[in-house]
Amino acid sequence: DTGVSQDPRHKITKRGQNVTFRCDPISEHNRLYWYRQTLGQGPEFLTYFQNEAQLEKSRLLSDRFSAERPKGSFSTLEIQRTEQGDSAMYLCASSPGHTVNTQETQYFGPGTRLLVL
């Protein structure tokens, strides 16, 4: 399967612990996005990368959150000192991103469901 993959699929942690999620985009996709979704809501944008450059960050991305895409391929999203309010589904998506200023179809992964106790 050459779709977007995310790992882990589920994570349960205690408040105050750090967690890290991984996203592997579709091969040769230059753009990678992170979204967060809580129950009954649509996904909310967190950040996106064009290759290894992080081009936009949402105000939702507090200083406890950090995302990286060091080689322009996979990405990691780390949450430090987790809080119960961080409990959500974290979705990753990718798109070709070969042309600037075009809105493209985004291909989503299955998500990582985080529960902070």
What gap in Å lies between CA 3 and CA 9, rounded to an integer? 15
Closest separation in Å from C-beta 101 to another protein: 5
Site string for another protein, 54-83 (x = CB under 8 A): -xx---------------------------
Which range touches another protein (CB under 8 A), out of 13-21, 65-73, 79-87, 101-109? Answer: 101-109
Tell me the β-bridge partners of 93. Answer: 33, 108
- Interaction site with another protein (CB under 8 A): 4, 31, 33, 35, 40-45, 48, 55-56, 89, 91, 93, 101, 103, 105-111, 113
